[in-house]
Structure 1
Amino acid sequence: MKQNDLFMDSSILYRSTQKFFDKKLQPFQLTYAQLPVLIMVYENEGISMQEIASQGLYDKGTITKNVQKLETLHYLHVVSSNKDKRSKELYTTRKAKEIMSHVYEIRRDWWKQLNAEMTKADIEQFSQYFMHVCEKSKKLMEFSQESVKFYKHQKVNLNMFPNHISTVFYTGGCNFQCKHCPNPDLVFIKQNMVEIPMEYIKSFLTKRKKNIQAICISGGEPCIHDNLSSFLSYGKQLGYKMCIRTNGSYPYTLIDWIEEGLLDYVILDIKQSNTCYSDIIGMEDYDVSNINQTINYLQTSHFPFSYQLALSKEFHNEKRIMEIGKWLQSDVEMRLSSIDLDQEEFNKLSTILKQYLPNLKIQGDIL
């Protein structure tokens, strides 16, 4: 029996299907690439781009491009969600509804031609097998064991996500080298440091859905890991709220995750006054423009977030605290903790900071 080449067979099937549909869809100015998006919207009016990306394993750029093209052709219109203004809902237009019967007929015609010489039993067997393979490949792509590595796990946390029972996973690696980092072992990853098995993480999250409401990601610096998005998506699919604790130096990554609907809360870890950030993070002449961009986005978008600041004798005094207060001045929650200050000094500095950040909460420990 001839051994088939799954890779080549899949390629042939994809290219043949694409050519068939591109030709048949020409009268409607559509292409095969746009068709799955159009069908998903037609069958799920009000679906979001994030939901389409999740169901079809599309990246953000591909979805955006196809939606924009379908909107230009007047097959779709996009509206802001009443539930979440950051999310966009997609709806088909009357023009789209008028052609969908033709679209379904084209799809049915292709399927009939593919199985013309197959028995009913063969078709049923092939359909079941193909569905199984697709589901398997989707799960592998949605959340592979290589997508992200965690090195610590706090099973229960009551502080990070407001009014939620959370579980916290810690990534490794950080672009800062803060002298008083609470997790220095996650900054300088030793070669023998063992990551948490993904099987354990999946099992834990699946079993604890009734008891835990949120997943928080800390580090290290989570935003240095672009591929963390697959884990964020996985957590959302399980029904968890998702939170990131970040130093704010990767605004584009953070903003992408927010706008893709992958995050529900952000903790922004402030280190020092914006005039002397370099003193504490181990980097000379550090430019805080990226952190400013993160702050500006979070404040202007009204995305739920809080500041966090840990005070130390070495780096924080009345002048620095006043500069921090003027820099961040707002009603945003500030979570304040002490590394090594005595109670009197801590009270004095917290009183100064509260003049600028009145929503100040004292925390006993650094998160």
Structure 2
Amino acid sequence: MNIAGLEACSLLDYPGLLSSVFFCQGCNYDCFYCHNRALIEPKSCITDYQEAQTFLQQRKGFIQAVVISGGEPSLQHDLMEFVEFIRNLGFAVKLDTNGSRPQVVSKLLEHDLLSYVAVDVKAPCERYQEIVGDKGDEILVRTSVSLLTEYQASHPGFSYEVRTTLAPTLGQEDLLCMVQSYPVVQHWYVQKYRIPKHFKANDEKRINLPQLSVGEVEKSLGLLRMYQPNLVIR
């Protein structure tokens, strides 16, 4: 595992549980509004695997869950081994993913290793690469969400969510297109946009463009919930 950062104690990252959060180095996306830009390049880790294991063993009886975030965790070649170690310690495991590697999600679900998954849906199909870079493929993301939907139907103790950030350039028609393209999901959160502290120079104009306000989205909630009844703004 290429671990670039660690939050020892969080009340925000796993719904309802006290968790520790591991941030993996490396991402196959290059979202112009990314808030973890330092994690995009596949640099060397700052925490080795043994240190991570020792840390988690020391957290038994204190935390309840572990969140694996990024970057993009599904790029890690030993992700499954790491998740198995965490589960064997008795922790719930939440995976934060961009959904671009459904084969990894499928393998983890097949072995019943995940308790919660959060998938970012960035844009409608035809605008995906515009938002996330040339490696974006919305069909792969849709496949990941479908896998989670099917798994949750037969595993009531498992939960998942879809997240969409109200990034600049996304409009009401984009949101409507997105919610129509997916099966009804357990939770769909529409999130407020925050200007990132670090960004590429050629993205400066784009990150400062106007974005949809919460009030504007609220006006269309009735229509959006016709397709995604579990959609809320947070």
User: TM class by shorter-chain length?
Assistant: 0.7 to 0.9
Give identity over the alignment, percent.
27
Residue number among 73, 76, 98 corresponding to 1:225 in the alignment: 76
- Secondary structure in 1 aligned to 2:146? helix
- Equivalent residue runs for 1:172-187 within 5 Å: 172-187=25-40
Using the alignment, how far apart are the partners of 2:165 and 2:92 within structure 1?
A: 25
Larger displacement relative to structure 2 (176-185 or 151-160): 151-160
Report SS of the residue matched to 2:227.
coil
TM-score, normalised to structure 2's length?
Answer: 0.81
| 1:313 lines up with 2:163 in the alignment | no
Q: 1:289: which partner in 2?
A: 139
SS in 1 for 2:55: helix
- Is the helix fraction higher in 1 or 2? 1
Length-normalised TM-score, structure 1: 0.53
- Structure 2 residues without counterparts, runs of 5 or longer: 153-157, 195-210
Amino acid at match of 2:7: Q
Q: Between Structure 1 and Structure 2, whose CA radius of gyration is higher? A: 1
Q: What does 1:187-206 correspond to in 2, within 5 Å? A: 187-190=40-43, 194-206=45-57
In the alignment, the residues of structure 2 paired with residue 161 and residue 183 of structure 1 have an alpha-carbon distance, to the nearest angstrom, of: 18
Distance 1:218 1:179, change over 3 A: same
Quote the offset at 1:220 in angstroms.
Answer: 0.9
Q: 1:359 aligns with which of 218, 225, 230?
A: 230
Query: Hey, what's the Cα distance between the residues in 1 that align with 2:77 and 2:232?
Result: 31
1:317 and 1:349 in contact (8 A); partners too: no
* Deviation, structure 1 residue 345: 3.6
Separation in 1 of the partners of 2:112 and 2:167?
Answer: 36
1:244 is paired with a residue whose SS is strand
- Cross-structure match for 1:108: none
Over the residues paired in the alignment, what is the CA RMSD in angstroms? 2.2
Using the alignment, how far apart are the partners of 1:175 and 1:331 within structure 2? Answer: 25
Q: Take 1:352 and 1:152, find their aligned partners in 2: how far apart are those partners?
A: 40
Distance 1:348 1:211 in 2: 43
Report the CA distance between 1:335 and its aligned residue. Answer: 2.0
Task: Give 1:350 deviation, angstroms.
Answer: 5.5
Counterparts of 1:194-273 in structure 2, within 5 Å, are: 194-273=45-124
User: Aligned to 1:304, which of 156, 159, 176?
Assistant: 159
Residue type at the aligned position of 1:298: L
Amino acid at match of 1:318: Q
Letter in 1 for 2:79: L
Question: What residue is the counterpart of 2:17 in the other structure?
Answer: 164
Secondary structure of the 1:276 match is helix
Contact 2:31 2:133 in 1 (8 A): yes
Spell out, residue by residue over 1:189-247, the C-alpha distance to the aligned partner (whole angstroms, 9 max, x if none). Answer: 45xx6512445423331222212111111111111113111111110111111111111
User: Structure 1, residues 305-336: CA drift from partner, whole Å, max 9, x if none?
Assistant: 1111111122x101101101111251520122
- Is contact 2:100-2:140 (8 Å) kept? yes
Which has the higher relative contact order, 1 or 2, with Cα contacts under 8 A spaced 6 or more apart? 2
Which shows bigger deviation, 154-163 or 223-232? Answer: 154-163
Give SS of 1:275's match.
helix
Unpaired runs of at least 5, structure 1: 1-147
After superposition, the C-alpha distances for 1:98-122 in whole angstroms (9 at most, x for unaligned) are: xxxxxxxxxxxxxxxxxxxxxxxxx
3-state DSSP class of the match of 1:242? strand
